[in-house]
Amino acid sequence: MGSTFATLPKIYDTKDVRGVNIPQKTYIQFVPGMVVKVTTGEDSISCEGDLNRLGSIIAMPHFGDKGIRKPSLAGEEFRYYPLLRGVQEAPAPGDPVVLCTIGGVQYYLGPLNTEGLPNFNADNFKNNQVKSSVEDVIYSEGSIETKLFVKDEFSRLQKLLNPKLDSPVEWKISQDENTSMPFISNAIHGDLVLEGRHGNSMRIGSRNIHPYIIISNGRAPNNPVETTLDGTILAILENGSIRDHFNIHGDYQTSFDYNFTLADEEFAKSKGKSKAKRSITSTFAKPLGRGLPPNNPAATNVSDEIYNYNKNQLFVSSDRITFNARKENIFLSAYKHIHIGCGSSLTFSTSTNILTEAAGSVMTRTDGKFGVDADSVYIDGRTKVIIGNPILDDTMHKAVLGDALVTQLSKMFFIMKEMCYITSKAIENRSLAGGSLTSMKEVINAIDNELGMVSLDPAGEYPDGMAHLILSDKVFLKK
């Protein structure tokens, strides 16, 4: 029973030829009503295993021709289905709705916006009224609201004037000329807004001619707009920076200044520090953090590049974000840089391999310990391996090849042992003049040949042969 005939007030009565009042009836297409039960899922009592009832309600019309009924006694003849096919908002028991009958099927629209509140709006037909006519009102039983529905006063979402984004041309002129922006108008076009009961919403709109989509969940009850401090916020922007769009925090009484800041810097502030020792901002300022050679000067406009970017962008912020590819891959790609920052630890875990390839440099900087724990470690510098930093005035020395050094020292000890025998022989060869000198000279020449002695003026002689054998041409160590 939705659409119905109802008796008009007596002032609309007509008289017959005898002068007797004749009540007039009118057809009411949309009848105000009140929700009694809602079928939100197959576990709802009113579903009774019939999935066609999903989204339907049991409602009491305030006008009707079926006599006086109590909401608790309303049966299947009072079931109504959503009028619109694709979009529906499930009401709660006690919500006001409008009821109608089209093609023999009973439908509902609502809940109605009687108080302008997104959470709950009271039924203006007080105390669950059931009217048998336009004038006669009969009161039914008390509240039928469910205890599982929590009422809370959430502010209706607003669209407040943002001169920088709503009048970008005039704003830029005022900034370039350092003058106050002239008043143009405080009337701006509205947005398409889908708003939930407890501080969640989807906004599809624009500033000036530039479109945006903002999805918010967990907005503070008194906040009239979305903020970067909402429980979760997702924004798709075409023009204007993140800080330009989200420049209001709190309501008119509790508003406060806040500029969106990356979480790795917020972590430092939570620890009582003025800024993070290592962060995306500080790393991005360094030459290598911007894809430049290390001897380039550090950047001075990093914050502006990060926080004032005002072209097409996607912004997502929440307490926790989880990306999970259950059966396939995650591809993360950027035309320029990819920056990853965190306040505490950064971990990489894999069941198989980690491959890092860079056409340029790979650098790791830490104030603590850098450790590698593996069964085997391969460091392959095709041209050179340097342990130290010549840029920081470290004096570099060639590394020694251990196996070659051991071999060479073994040969030298062998020669020394031979020298003992030859010395003894030289001493005993007294009868031949100069015999000992000749014998010892042979030992000296043998040692020189083994060391590969060369003359380097003015430094003197250098064991080039031994150096070639035991010194690496690719690995250099800091002294």
- Between 154 and 143, name the one with better pLDDT: 154
Residues of the chain above pLDDT 90, percent? 23
Asked which of 78-82, 367-371, 414-418 is least confident by mean pLDDT, the reply is 414-418
Q: What is the pLDDT of residues 310-345, one digit of tens each?
A: 999 999 999 999 999 999 999 999 999 999 998 888
List pLDDT tens digits, range 32-57.
888 988 888 888 878 888 888 888 99
Q: Mean pLDDT across the chain, nearest whole number?
A: 82
Contact predicate 91/81, CB 8 Å: no
**Contact predicate 297/290, CB 8 Å:** no
Q: Quote the pLDDT of residue 251.
A: 55
Among 115-129, 217-231, 422-436, 437-451, which range has the highest average pLDDT?
A: 217-231
Task: Name the range with the highest mean pLDDT among 217-221, 297-301, 394-398.
Answer: 217-221
- Do strands 200-207 and 210-217 pair parallel, antiparallel, or not at all (unpaired)? antiparallel
Residue 213 pLDDT level (bands cut at 50, 70, 90): very high
Better-predicted residue by pLDDT, 278 or 80: 80
pTM for this structure?
A: 0.74
* Predicted confidence band of residue 206 (pLDDT cuts 50, 70, 90): very high
Are the C-beta atoms of 158 and 224 separated by less than 8 Å? yes
